[in-house]
Every structure is written in structure tokens, then in C-alpha cells.
Structure 1
Amino acid sequence: MKLRYLIIYILIFILLGTVICIRIARGDGAGVNQAKTTEINRLLISIEEDWDRVSAKDAELTETVDSLDYSVIDSDSKVLEFTRDDISTTVSAATTHYDIIRDVEVDGEIVGKLIIHNPSGEQQQARNKHYALLAAMMFAVILAMLVIYSFYIERRVISPFARLKKFATRIASGDLDSPLEMDKGHVFGEFTEAFDIMREELKSSREREEAAVRSRKELVAELSHDIKTPVASIKAMADVMSLTATDDDQRKVIASINGKADQIDNLISNLFHATLEELEQLEVNVEDLSSVDLVQMINEADYLNRVTEIDIKEVFIVGDRLRLNQIVTNIISNSYKYAGTDIKAISHIENDNVMALERNDNSQDEMGNIAKNSRKFLVVEFSDKGGGVPESELELITQKFKRGSNAEGKDGSGLGLYISNYLMNKMGGSLACRNNGEGLTVSLRIQM
């Protein structure tokens, strides 16, 4: 509310209060001040001149004279006439009611009393009613102003503030698309436009940040892809040199070059696939495969010949050949790097029973028949004897950029198991890690 409106309301309240106080303080007078002396004297003279007729009356009700209510009594206090039943007819009653008492004289002798009714009681009662009505009107005006002011506060202050609060909550939750309703008529009107400009700037900033992050990820993906080409050339040249080597020292150096190139290739592949996963471009094309393909993948990944036992059940599985090969390569490479021991690759078949309730509509007792939809999985376990990892770290090593405490001082990025777990989930399977007492076991659940 503007200041001038508040000042006007205060002045109105002060004016109304002043008027009431003045009316109460002044009053309307009482007693003789209210009666007209001339009219009283005229009435008294009239009664004195007509005393013979008046004295002959006996408590007779007569008409009011000059708007004056009165009663006449003789010297023996006998009521001769009166104008109203509720007025004083004795000197004592007149004294109690502050009525005007005049002597009636005939030939110099007091023959009776004229009692003029004092209307101050009725006038006071009328004044009280008037003041009560005025106070009620003032209260009604104040109440109406309070209601109007409350409505004004609700519409111009509380509701806009509630909208600002909801807007701030939406901004905090990340909703930068919903604009703030603008209304410059309320007390927050000047801030509304500024708040919405802030929202637009935050939205623009977030879009710029997302674009920059995506650009960086795309750059990493492009660089990873570009780096793989010279690495492949190095591996090819190392393979050629190994064929032409003439002694064991040369073959040892060439094998070392080939191994380092493989490490670089694995790191680049992990970084490349992690970037594609963040860009939601890591594709998985599922097809029917034979588990015999897994044996081939294991043999190709085991270039150090550390897999001493391979027992893979011959079944048909569902998966992506390229991604399964990548997963197997990651697992064996991790075992080389962190365990350095023999590896066993064994498998077994698990059933995943899903209970389904089929409704039998023809049954009177509405009982259902339970059917079992069974899915089968080929579980392939890769176990080494490298001591494993602490139990508290088993769930962490499948997360992005997380490595076990046994990886300290060894090359790696913490992406291999993360990408493998991601790819297994995309193919409808899963990956799990556990300690086997001697080392670490990585289990692949591949849907059949």
C-alpha cells in the first residue's frame, strides 16, 4: 500500500473519533436549559387565570401545551390534570426526576404547583442510541476497511510472495523452462522481471555449459579414435619385427613394446567407450550366439597364456559379440594387471524364476493358477589368486573412475569394470564381483 493511502485512512479514523468525542462532551443540556422559559411562564399564567376551572378537575388527562408535558396539583397535593401517565405528579417525584416546579398563585396566595416534566432522561437515552449507532457505523467502516485491506494484502503481497517461493523452488529443482508470471501491480512487481531475467540467464548458462561439456566429450571421443590408429600401426610393426627377430633379447624387447601398446589400446578403448556412454551413443546390438564363441574370445584375450582352465557349457546365448569380447578382454587384462596369477574360467547355468499370477475367470472361488516363467542364464566366472579386494570396495570397483586399494601404483583409469557392467546391463545380464578366498571372482550372467 502506498504511503498516501495509509495517511488518508489514519486521518479518517481521527476525524470520526473527534466527532464522537465532541458530541459526547457537549451533550444537549438538561433541566431548565432545555425548557423554554417563555413557554413555561405563558403556561403558568394561563393556569393561574383559569384556576377556577383547573381546580375543579380531578386527575384529568389533558393536551400538551407548547410541547411541554406537565402536571398540576393543588395545595393538598391532589392531582388536578396531567398530560402523560409517566410524568411526576408529586413534589418528591418531581425532585427525584429533576423536574421544574413552579408555584401557582392566585391573588397572592399559593394555591398549587405546576410540575414541568424534565425530558433529560429520554434525551439521554436518545443520545445513547445515537452514539451506539455512530459507534456501530464506525466499527462497520473499520471492519470493512480491514477486510478490504486484508484482501489487498492477500492479493498484492501474500499471493505474489507464494508465487515467488514456488518459482524459487522450481529454479532450485532445475526447472528453468517455466517463466514467472509478471505483474507489476503488487509490491514484488519490480522484482518479477528481474527474477525472470535471472531464470533466462541461468537457463542460457546451463545450455552453454551442457554444450561445452558435450563438445569436450565429443573431442575426447574423436581423439581416442584418432589415437587408436597409430597404436594399431605400432602393434602391426611389432608383430612384423617379432617375425624377423634373430635372438631372444630382441624378441623380449618387441614383446614388451607389444604389451605396452596393448595397454595403451585398452586405456584408449575404455576412455572412448566411457565417453560414448555419456553421450548415449554406446550401441549394443543383441543377437543369438553360441557359448563356444566365448572360448574363442578368452583365448584371444589371454595373450600371456595365464588362463589355465576353461569350462564353458555349450549353449546358445543372447548378446553382442563385439561387446562380449570387450568385456572378456577387460576382465582378463585387469587380472593380468592386479593379480598376475593363473586364471580359471568356468561356467554353470542358473534359472531366474518369475512368478506370474494367471487369473481364472471361470473359477467360482476366483482362485488363481500360478505359472512360472523361467529365464535361464549362463554364468561365467573368472577367478584369480591375487588376494582380491577389501569387502567394502567390492561395490565401488564397478563404478566410474573407482579403483580398489590394491591398484595403487599401477596403470589404469577405473573404467574397465564400469563399462563392462554397463554393457552387461544393456544386454539383459549383469556383472558381479566377489572374493573367493584366494583372489577375486568376476561373474558374468549372460541371458540364454
Structure 2
Amino acid sequence: MNKYRKFVGIFLGIELILIAISNVLFFIMAHINEPEIRKTQEKTGTIYKVIYTQTDHKTLILMNVGMGIMFLLSVFLVMYIGKKILKPFHRMMSLTEELAKGNLSVPIKAEKSKFFGRFLWGMDMLRDNLESSREKELELQKEKKTLILSLAHDLKTPLSAIRLYNKALSENLYDTPEKRAQVYAGIDKNVTEMEGYVTEIMAASRENFLNLTVEMGEVYLSSVMEYINAYYTDKLSNLHTTFEVESYLDCLLCGDSNRLIEVLQNIMENALKYGDGKCITISFTTEEDCCLITVKNTGCTLKEDELPHLFDSFYRGSNVGNAKGSGLGLYICRQLMHMMDGEIFAEIKENEFLASVVIHKV
């Protein structure tokens, strides 16, 4: 802001100097004009008139009024820019830095400025979501650690029993077949108990670790496809990838509009990332109670025996190459579709990969 104030001072100062110079030049030009001699012929004879140029005060006043108005407009303009644009922007300079540092607790002050009001509102929503996500993550980590510690403690009991049984067997303390059978049964019971604890740990590590939510409602197929079509038409055109959306009958679907778009975007991104970039096609099949949306891309190098694992969390196929990813895209798609009472599956046909989404109609 200090630099801007300095610039404003110089700019307005130059305007005032130009106004002053204009006035000085006007007066100089008015006084250096020599008297003008005019000759007129009348009936009585020839008359010579000497005409002296006088300063036109009206012109001077109008000139100064015009320049004064321009100067006032300049003052208003620079003040408006400083107050409505530069001042809010100056306050926003540290926002992204604070968010990057993790300072999420202090709300971002809203601005009524039409230039940055919506932006600041969005930044505050982002801050609030980041803070909420961090709190949920910390709470989830706390719950997981508590569960793991509890299960680890519970595992000690059967492990101790198995160790005692093993020591007794090694020292031949059980000399009859009946006693040894009881020991074997006890070991089997403790092993079964440990397997249960391990299953609980695995379930806890997988259970909704992404905190996915779905808001069920009604959505027209056309509104979803209009968004997908608008989003990818230009993008794929720039990549020189043929993009085709086959004709379809519009229908009312039962699900979450935003989540369904997210699923289709995940599939489209996979088609871009792992296909050959030649052609991507979206086709439709409708049944009595459901709609099938299929995304097909050319250049599939995935093996058939990998298809059952594609929707597992953190699984990445043999065709990933150097492409970056977490192995969660299709896993998230399946979780979202199940939460919308739908399904998603994949298949390979003639070197083409097909991912199909099944969603119920209303």
C-alpha cells in the first residue's frame, strides 16, 4: 500500500503540474499576439482599424473547469481502486500463507467488495472444511490408536495361554492322550480368538477411512451428462482425443448428483490416464428400474485376471507405468455407488476397457 500511495501522489502531482502549465501557456499565447490591422472600405473612404487581442476569460474558465473535473475524477478513481481492490487484496496476501502453515482456527473476515467478497467467502469455507477435516482426522486417529491398543492388550491373553501350552508340551507334562487333546483344543480355541482380533483390526483399518457421505435425492440424467460433456469436450479436444457421447433417453435417477458426477469423473480420468488417448466413448443402456452408463476407452493393457482387484483400496494394476496415483479412485467409486444403492463393474473387450455404472431410476 505504501508504494501505491507514493504512485498516487506522483500521478496526481503530475496532473496538477500539467494543469498549471496549460494555464501558463494560455496566458503567454494570449499576450504575445501582436495587434491586428484591418482595412475596411466604406462609402466615405477607407478606414483602418487596429484590433488588440484580449484574454478570453470564458475559455480559460471552461478549460480549468474541465481539467478540474478530470482531476477530481482521477482522485476518485485512484481512491476507489485503493479502497475496493488494493486494500482487500493487501489483506488477502497472507491468507494462503496462513492456511499453508495450518493456522485454520481464525475465521477469515468477510468483505462486501464485489471483487473479493465471494472469493473471501470461498476461502473461509475452505478454511472451515480444512479445519473440520483435520479435527475428524485427529479424532479418527485417536479412535484407531485406542482400538489397536485395546486389541493388542486382548491379544496378550491367548498368546500367553498358547506359550504356556507349548512349554507344557515341550516338557511332556501331559502324559496321557486325553490331556494332550485338551491342550490341543485349548490352543485351537486361543488361535481362533486371536484370528477374531486380527479380523477386527483389519476391519477397523478399512472401515470408512475416507469418511464418505452421500445425500440421496433425485437427479436427471441429462443434467449429469451436460456437466460431464461440458467439462471434457474442450479438455479432450486439446489432447486430440476423440470424445463421443451417444444418444440417450433422459430419465430421473435416484442418487446424489454431485457424487454421481464425481464417480464419472474418476472413471474418465482413469480412461485418460491408462488408455492410449485415441478415443473415449460414453454409452447408455436403460432397463425398467435402472440405467447403465458405460465409459469405454481404447488401448487397454490391463490383464483379465486383475479385474477382480481393481476396486480394492490401494490396488494399482500392472498397466500403471509411471502414472501417479494412490489406488483409491475406483475404490471410492464403488463405495459411493454402494451408498447410492448402485453398482460399478469393469470388463475388457477387444483391447478396450469398459467401466460401467449402474444406478436406479426413480
The verdict on a shared fold, with TM-score over 0.5 as the criterion, is no
Structure 1 or 2: larger helix share?
Answer: 2
- Relative contact order (alpha carbons < 8 A, sep ≥ 6): 1 or 2 greater? 2
Over alpha carbons, which structure has the higher Rg?
Answer: 1
Q: TM-score, normalised by structure 1?
A: 0.35
Q: TM-score, normalised by structure 2?
A: 0.43
